[in-house]
Structure 1
Amino acid sequence: VCLCGFLSVKRRNKNFLNNSEQEFVAGRRNTVLQTLKKLKIQCSRKEVPNIALLGSGGGQRAMVGLLGSLVQLDKAGLLDCILYLSGVSGSTWCMASLYKEPDWSTKLETVKNKIIERIRGPEVSLTDAMAKLKKYYYGKDLFSLTDVWAVLVVTSYVKEIDERTLTEQRKQHNKDPFPIYAVIDKQSKQSNDGDPWFEINPYEAGYSLSGVFVDTGDFGSQFQKGSKIKHQDEFDMLYLQALCGSALGDEEDIKKTMWFPSDKPISPSVDECHRALMDLVNMNLSVLNGKDPSGFEKSIRTNLNGKRQPISTIETLKKADERAEKQDIKHFTMEVCEDLSKLYKIYNCFTDVWISICKCMAQWIWGRKYNLLHNMTDEAVNSTLLQSETRDYIDGGLLLNSPYFSVLREDRDIDLIISLDFSQGDPFMTVNDAAETCKKLKIPFPEVNVTSEDKTKPKDFYVFKGQNTPTVIHIPLFNAVNCGDKVEDWRKKYRTFQGAYSAEMIADLMDIAGKNISNNREKLKEQIRAKIVSFFIFFLS
Structure 2
Amino acid sequence: MPNIALLGSGGGERAMLGLLGSLVQLKKCDLLDCMLYLSGISGSTWCMASLYRESEWSAKLDTVQDAIVKRLNGPEVTWTDSWIKLKKYHKRDNFSLTDFWAVMFVSSIVKEIDEDGVTHQRDYHTKDPYPVYAVIDDQCKRESLDSDAWFEITPHEAGYSLTGAFVDSAYLGSQFKNGTSVKKQPEIDMLYLQGFCGSALADETEIKKWLWEEMKKIISCGEESSQACQVLLTLAELNLCVLKDEDPTSLITTMTELLKGKLDKHGRAMFISAQELLHERKSAILEQFTLTICENFGDWFKVQDTAGWIAIDIVKLITRWIWGTTYDFLYDMEVEDVHPSVLTEKERYYEDAGLLINSPYFPMLREERDIDLIISLDFSAGDPMETVVKTSQMCKELKIPFPGVKLPDNITEPDDFYVFKGCDKTPTVIHIPLFNKVNCDGHIQDWASKYSTFQQAYSPDLISDLIKKAGENVINTKEKILKEIAKIVEQKQSKVH
Q: TM-score, normalised on structure 1?
A: 0.80
- The CA deviation at 1:384 is 1.1
1:463 counterpart = 2:419: yes
Taking the aligned partners of 1:129 and 1:337, their CA distance within structure 2 comes to 27
**Equivalent residue for 2:348?**
391
Please give the alpha-carbon distance, in whole angstroms, between the structure 1 residues aligned to 2:442 and 2:219. Answer: 38
Contact (CA 8 Å) 1:283, 1:296: kept in 2 or not?
no
Q: C-alpha distance in 2, partners of 1:374/1:536? A: 45
The one-letter code matched in structure 2 to 1:215 is: D
Aligned residue in 1 for 2:266:
none
Instruction: Say if 2:41 and 2:358, in contact at 8 Å, map to a contact too.
Output: yes
In structure 1, the residue matched to 2:71 is 118
Q: Is the 1:292–1:318 contact (alpha carbons within 8 Å) kept by the matching residues of 2?
A: no
**Contact in 2 for aligned 1:337/1:354 (Cα 8 Å):** no
Which residue number in structure 2 is paired with residue 211 of structure 1? Answer: 164
Q: Give the distance between the partners of 1:313 and 1:207, measured in 2 at CA.
A: 45
Residue number among 309, 313, 322 corresponding to 1:352 in the alignment: 309
In the alignment, structure 2 segments of 5+ residues that lack a partner are 221-231, 261-269
Query: Letter of the aligned partner of 2:20 in structure 1?
Result: L
Which residue matches 2:217?
A: 273
The answer as to 2:155 corresponding to 1:196 is: no
Cα distance in 1, alignment partners of residues 191 and 142 from structure 2:
26
Check conservation: 2:132, 2:152, Cα contact below 8 A: yes
Whole-Å Cα distance in 2 between the matches of residues 76 and 528 of structure 1? 14
Query: 2:336 & 2:401 partners in 1: Cα distance?
Result: 24
The verdict on how the C-alpha distance between 1:314 and 1:242 changes in structure 2, with shifts beyond 3 A counting, is: farther
CA 1:280–1:170 in 2, change beyond 3 Å: closer, same or farther?
farther
1:65-464 to 2 correspondences below 5 Å: 65-138=18-91, 140-193=92-145, 195-247=148-200, 258-260=204-206, 266=210, 273=217, 292=245, 294=247, 313=272, 315-316=274-275, 318-321=277-280, 323-324=281-282, 326=284, 328-332=286-290, 335=293, 349-453=306-410, 455-464=411-420
* Kept in 1: contact 2:277–2:285 (CA 8 A): no
User: Do the aligned partners of residues 133 and 516 (structure 1) sit closer, same or farther apart at CA in structure 2, a change above 3 Å counting?
Assistant: same
CA distance in 1, matches of 2:249, 2:294: 11
TM-score by length of 2: 0.87
Give the C-alpha shift of residue 259 in structure 1: 3.9
Q: 1:480 to 1:275 in 2, by over 3 A?
A: farther
SS in 1 for 2:274: helix
Counterpart code for 1:273:
K
Q: Deviations over 1:2-59 (max 9, x none)?
A: xxxxxxxxxxxxxxxxxxxxxxxxxxxxxxxxxxxxxxxxxxxxxx100000000000
Deviation at residue 123 of structure 1 after TM alignment: 1.0
What CA distance in whole angstroms lies between the structure 1 residues aligned with 2:371 and 2:126? 19
Q: Are the equivalent residues in 2 in contact too, given 1:73–1:79 (CA < 8 A)?
A: yes
* Cα distance, 1:381 vs structure 2: 1.2
Distance 1:169 1:490 in 2: 35
Cα shift at 1:326: 3.8
Q: Which moved more, 1:330-339 or 1:66-75?
A: 330-339
Partner SS, residue 73 of structure 1 = helix
Q: How does 1:507-526 map to 2 (within 5 A)?
A: 507-526=464-483
Deviation at 1:498, TM superposition (A): 1.2
Counterpart of 2:223? none
AA paired with 2:194? Q
Shift of 1:260: 3.1
> CA distance change for structure 1 residues 201 and 312 in 2, over 3 Å: closer, same or farther?
same
Tell me the SS of whatever aligns to 1:86: strand
Contact 1:266 1:498 in 2 (8 A): no
Distance apart, 1:313 and its partner CA:
3.6
Task: Say which SS state the counterpart of residue 209 (structure 1) adopts.
Answer: coil
In 2, Cα distance between equivalents of 1:520 and 1:56: 18
Per the alignment, residue 10 of structure 1 pairs with: none
Residue 55 of structure 2 contacts residue 125 of structure 2 at CA under 8 Å; is this kept in 1?
yes
Contact 1:120 1:502 in 2 (8 A): yes
RMSD over aligned CA atoms reads 3.2
- Conserved? CA contact 1:293–1:317, under 8 Å: no
Q: Is the 8 A contact 2:417 2:432 kept in 1?
A: yes
**Which deviates further from its counterpart, 483-492 or 467-476?**
483-492
In the TM superposition, what is the alpha-carbon distance from 1:242 to its structure 2 partner?
A: 0.1
CA distance in 1: counterparts of 2:46 and 2:488, whole angstroms:
31
Amino acid of the structure 2 residue aligned with 1:331 = F
Structure 1 residues 92-140: Cα deviation after superposition (integer angstroms, max 9, x where no partner): 00000000101100100000011011111111111111111000011x1
Is 1:475–2:419 an aligned residue pair?
no
1:350, distance to aligned residue in structure 2 (A): 3.0
Cα distance in 2 for residues equivalent to 1:297 and 1:94: 45
Call closer, same or farther: CA 1:504–1:79 in 2, change over 3 Å.
same
Report the alpha carbon displacement of residue 521 of structure 1 after superposing the two structures with TM.
1.1
**Residue deviations 1:271-320, cap 9 Å, x none?**
96269999988976886xx762658997xx9xxxxx98999647256425
Give the secondary-structure state (helix, strand or coil) at the position aligned to 2:485: helix
- The answer to whether 1:57 aligns with 2:10 is yes
**How far apart in 2 are the matches of 1:482 and 1:339?**
56
The alpha-carbon deviation at position 229 of structure 1 amounts to 1.1
8 Å contact kept, 1:86–1:180: yes
Q: 1:402 to 1:295 in 2, by over 3 A?
A: farther
> Using the alignment, how far apart are the partners of 1:269 and 1:124 within structure 2?
18
Whole-Å separation in 1 of the counterparts to 2:110 and 2:234 = 22
The alignment covers a number of residue pairs equal to 470
Deviates more, 1:324-333 or 1:99-108: 324-333
For the 8 Å contact 1:166–1:201, the answer to whether it is kept is: yes
Distance apart, 1:492 and its partner CA: 1.2
Aligned to 2:457: 500
Q: Distance in 1 between matches of 2:477 and 2:211?
A: 35
* 1:361 Cα deviation from its structure 2 partner: 1.7
CA distance in 2, matches of 1:218, 1:496: 32
**Unaligned ranges ≥5, structure 1:** 1-47, 249-253, 302-306
* Closer, same or farther: CA 512–447 of 1 in aligned 2, 3 Å: same
CA distance in 1 between counterparts of 2:333 and 2:24 reads 44
TM-fit CA distance, 1:503: 0.4
Query: What amino acid is the match of 1:328?
Result: L
Identical columns (%): 50
Q: Distance in 1 between matches of 2:365 and 2:413?
A: 29
Give the aligned partner of residue 19 of structure 1.
Answer: none
- Which residue identity is paired with 1:399? L
CA contact (8 A) 2:196 2:324 kept: yes
